[in-house]
Amino acid sequence: MIYVWDSCRSSQTPNFQKPSMNDEQQFSMVRTHICGLRVADLVSKYGTPLYVYDEATILEQIEALRSFDWIRYAQKACSNLAVLDRIRRRGVLVDAVSAGEIRRALEVGYVPEGDPPPIVYTADLFDQEALDLVVERNIHVNCGSPEMIDQLGSRVQGREITLRINPGFGHGHSQKTNTGGPQSKHGIWHEDLADCLERSRSHGLKISGLHMHIGSGTDLGHLSQVVGAMESMAREVGPQITSLSAGGGLSIPYQEGESRVDISGYFELWDGLRRSLAKEWGHPIRLEIEPGRYLLAESGFLIAEIRAVKRMGENTFYLLDAGFNNLARPILYGAYHPMSVVPASGEDTARPLRDVVVGGPLCESGDIFTQEEGGFVRTRSLPDARVGEHVVIECAGAYGFVMGSNYNSKPMAAEVLIVGGTPHLVRSRQTFEDLIRGESILDID
Ligand code: LLP
């Protein structure tokens, strides 16, 4: 049995049939529509490879986190201006890790100053451009190294800053997304807090809050430990603290057997800490959460065309016109993304399953979407498909397009945002001229 499934939250399509998250067949499917729109129509209008995002899914994920005082979107997950703007309109604040991300936030109408600060620069260092920008535009800084305190303090006095603390432990879906503990470069080491308090004082900077982000794709067990670590750090700083940030890290179910995060249980833990400190110190404490993946992952689809169906010994390969230049998560982390096949004729959905390897066009053996961490190629049970048909790589909205590259001189894909059932092109496909802009041939022998 193969499901014909349109997973979009907004979907009211005739073929809408959403199995429960535990249904073991959920992740093996034929798909004809995305959010009520025929994939074939999207492809003929915009071409492939194509990223498609569903606004309704993003908004639903935002609503699920409203118990926190403030949601601050980690735009590194997907920083397309149109996406950022839709999120801003829902009263969600934004995080930035570079001058470019600060500029994106300003571009869509986030104002630099406010309480809480609409834009926060969280990083482990300043490059010259970022330092100049946070100084000139009065952007709030969440310092991830003692040097950031010194470098900011030598330019401005009297500002509030927050500190990103590495509590000495971390966890992620991959070791590469673990941002805590001694192997991580991120944050101020917890034992250096006293030194950083002193540095800040000497520069006339006031530490008004603490932040911890121990990794991405983290489980609730590890995330919950952060609350205890935050408590002892907050007590060390004392009542000058008016805000706490739980960071991001919330996962989403990418495959069968993975469950949804219990947001209310997680919130209770943080709220408990916040309440007890607020009571003790006699002033309110703002509680922020900083998700990237949780808001975007499930909203995004990467559509690609099958250009070859190749047999190599016992393996059959579906080779797509999208590769790790479009979606790097499988080659980087062995990340699993659900996939579905789009039949050339919308009605032709009765396809047998076959075990296939799915790869891309790049001249590199690792350009495989069905691999495990370490580069081990795996097969995936997918509906039988032919050249010219399409594959939709699902749950690709977070860390998808943004981690793309021009490797092999491939242009960056186009991006479409569906709002209220209507598709809008929000980034056109790069052209060859875009690709070579800024390069020059030397006029010398
Ligand atoms: N806050 C800070 C300071 C971060 O460094 C990150 C992610 C987030 C929030 C958001 O984390 P999230 O809620 O998305 O887990 N490329 C990897 C993920 C890298 C995450 C980097 N920092 C992936 O594709 O899994």
CB 102 within 8 A of CB 121: yes
Q: For residues 37 and 32, what is the distance between their CA atoms, to the nearest angstrom?
A: 8
pLDDT in tens, 48-101: 999 999 999 999 999 999 999 999 999 999 999 999 999 999 999 999 999 999
pLDDT of 16 reads 34
Ligand 1 atom nearest the C-alpha of 77 is 14
Instruction: Provide CB contacts within 8 A for 361, sequence distance 6+.
Output: 307, 319, 320, 321, 322, 323, 367, 408, 410
Give the SS3 label for residue 176: helix
pTM assigned to the model: 0.94
Nearest residue (by CA) to ligand 1, atom 24, is 399
User: Ligand 1 mean position to 352 CA, how many Å?
Assistant: 38
As a dihedral over the C-alpha atoms of residue 183, residue 187, residue 191, residue 193, rounded to 10 degrees, the angle is: 170
Beta bridge partners of 339: 28, 393
pLDDT at position 7 is: 57
Active site (annotated) includes residue 363: yes
Q: How confident is the model at residue 346 (pLDDT cuts 50, 70, 90)?
A: low
- Beta-bridge partners for 54: 418
Residue 242 has pLDDT above 60, yes or no: yes
What residue's CA is closest to ligand 1, atom 20? 216
Separation of alpha carbons 401 and 164, rounded Å: 27
- For residues 19-37, average pLDDT: 66
Q: Give 215 Cα–ligand 1 centroid separation in angstroms.
A: 7
Taking CB atoms and a 6 Å cutoff, what residues make up the pocket around ligand 1? 74, 76-77, 95, 122, 177, 213, 216-217, 247-250, 290-294, 329, 333, 398-399
Contacts of 128 (CB under 8 A, 6+ apart): none
- List helix spans (H) across 319-437: 329-333, 432-436
- CA 140 to ligand 1 center in whole angstroms: 19
Give the per-residue pLDDT at 256: 83
Q: What average pLDDT does the chain have?
A: 93
Which is nearest to 102 in space by CA: 134, 149, 144?
Answer: 134
Structure tokens at 418: 């569906």
Ligand 1, atom 9: closest residue by C-alpha: 248
pLDDT tens, position by position, 373-417: 999 999 999 999 999 999 999 999 999 999 999 999 999 999 999
Given pLDDT bands bounded at 50, 70 and 90, which one contains residue 345? confident
Instruction: Answer yes or no: is pLDDT of 204 > 50.
Output: yes
Beta bridge pairs of residue 383:
353
Quote the ligand 1 centre to 122 CA distance (angstroms).
Answer: 12
Assess contact for 225 and 270: CB atoms under 8 A.
no
| The pLDDT of residue 12 | 37
User: With bands split at pLDDT 50, 70 and 90, how would you rate the model's confidence at 6?
Assistant: low
Q: 349 or 138: whose pLDDT is higher?
A: 138
